[in-house]
Amino acid sequence: MKRTSPDPQATPASVSAGRVGRPHGLDGSFYVTGARARLLALGGTVSVAGRSLEIVRRAGAEQRPIVRLAGVEDRAAAEALRGVELSVPAGETPALGEGEWWAHELEGCEVRDGEQLLGTVSRLLELPSCEALEVVPAHGRGQLLVPLVKDAIRRVAPAERRIEVNVDFLDLPRQARGQTPARDAAGGEPA
């Protein structure tokens, strides 16, 4: 799938890189919770508590990175930031490869199979085996999870605010496909 530029009105001013987690060691390093590891490169800059700070240490795993920021010099300083969001200006996010999108590019997109509206993307979830779109159904309650796999996704067009899916692969129940039960001849509810 080819990546297209998002609608400029849908692009936020900044993209979350995660939140400051518990301190790691005594030098001001900390774990990042909910991390988007691509945004936490050594030498990069993140905004935290209204300040732009350089990442001077990057360790740990992609799922649980450990970082230290310039100016955060000890465990107490890291603890004082615990829970604070780390963000990167949207214009400074690294380029993604073909078939990749930032979560904010997909949030709010309509999910359709042809002309049939299934719902709207509320957020992107990172599951153990793949990423999935959490979709608020257009008709009905609950949520629908659409895995971001080739068999489920036909086309992603963030600039059009639209994602085409394959409802046959998703094996959706009849009502979730947007089909309404047939009414009786008098126009009443179905039998």
Give the confidence band of 173 by pLDDT, cuts at 50, 70, 90: low
Q: What percent of the chain is modeled with pLDDT above 70?
A: 84
Residue 4 structure tokens: 């297209």
The most confident of the ranges 66-75, 85-94, 127-136 is 66-75
pLDDT at 176 over 70: no
For the chain, where do the domains classified as CATH 2.30.30.240 start and end? 103-177
Mean pLDDT over residues 4-12, rounded?
A: 44
Tell me how long the chain is: 191
**Domain 13-91 CATH (choose: 3.10.20.30, 2.40.30.60, 3.30.420.40, 3.40.50.1950):** 2.40.30.60
Give the confidence band of 4 by pLDDT, cuts at 50, 70, 90: very low
In angstroms, the Cα distances linking 132 to 5, 48, 128, 154 are 20, 28, 10, 14
Residue 158 structure tokens: 């963030």
The third-level CATH classification (topology) of the domain covering 103-177 is SH3 type barrels. (2.30.30)
N-to-C CA span, the chain: 44
**Higher per-residue confidence, 138 vs 92:** 138
Beta bridge partners of 69: 55
Report how far residue 172's alpha carbon sits from residue 156's, in angstroms, rounded to the nearest whole number.
20
| Predicted TM-score (pTM) of this structure | 0.58
